[in-house]
Structure 1
Amino acid sequence: MGRSSRLWGDDCRAFRPERWLDGHGRFVAMEAARYPVFHAGPRACLGKEMSYLQMKVVAAAVVRTFTVEVLPAASMDTPPEHEMAVTLKMKDGLRVRLKSRACAAS
């Protein structure tokens, strides 16, 4: 469902974070059943709020300290594979290049 063109449009496989923003750059939440990572209803994940908090803290620390460039994948024809674990993660991770903002300012 996370890459369903019926739910997300023809560009469902594209990395477009702006799809979650309104015309003024503010985050717009989707209904939980549409993006089922944490499930919805009475079986919703108990750790959802904690994971969101952790994600925001880590993202803020990384963006404050580094510029982040996502490196192109070997092939964008197939979706990335996922590993089943306690948390769902991308197989082989997401390759990025980090550059210290302190070095960039110098």
Structure 2
Amino acid sequence: MGRLESIWGNDCLEYRPERWLGEEDGVFKAESSFKYPVFHAGPRMCLGKEMAYTQMKSIAACVIERFVIDVVAPSQPQHVLSLTLRMKGGLHVRVRERCADRMD
């Protein structure tokens, strides 16, 4: 459901984080958990959802602070149907350590 054109529009396959920001104010707007059911929805919502988000933000902040990450092959990723979201062949990236005296 996370890539269905009927739900997300013509650009459903594009990586556009700004789609979750309000057009007028740029503030995050939450979508219905029934529209994007990664952690399920309703009374059977995943109990670890908030902890997963906290861990994801913490790890992402630490990695982004220390490293520059470039996607090596910017081709259209092929998604694999599985219990967790993943890409066929993985996502190939080049990781460089940031210099302490300058920002990239």
Given the two structures, how large is their TM-score scaled by the length of structure 2? 0.80
User: What SS does structure 2 have at the residue aligned with 1:105?
Assistant: coil
Number of the residue aligned with 1:94 = 91
User: What SS does structure 1 have at the residue aligned with 2:27?
Assistant: coil
2:80 and 2:86 in contact (8 A); partners too: yes
Q: In 2, distance between residues paired with 1:69 and 1:26? A: 27
Q: In 2, distance between residues paired with 1:104 and 1:16? A: 31
Q: In 2, distance between residues paired with 1:105 and 1:28? A: 34
Shift of 1:6: 1.0
| Richer in helix (by share) | 1
Shift of 1:36: 0.8
Amino acid at match of 2:93: V
1:66 and 1:99 in contact (8 A); partners too: yes
C-alpha change, 1:25 and 1:101, in structure 2 (3 Å) is farther
Gaps of 5+ in 2: none
CA-atom RMSD in angstroms: 2.3
C-alpha change, 1:46 and 1:17, in structure 2 (3 Å) is same
Shift of 1:43: 0.8
C-alpha change, 1:104 and 1:9, in structure 2 (3 Å) is farther
Bigger relative CO (Cα 8 Å, ≥ 6 apart): 1
Gaps of 5+ in 1: none
1:70 and 1:97 in contact (8 A); partners too: yes
Number of the residue aligned with 1:8 = 8
Amino acid at match of 2:91: L
Number of the residue aligned with 1:55 = 56
Q: In 2, distance between residues paired with 1:79 and 1:49? A: 28
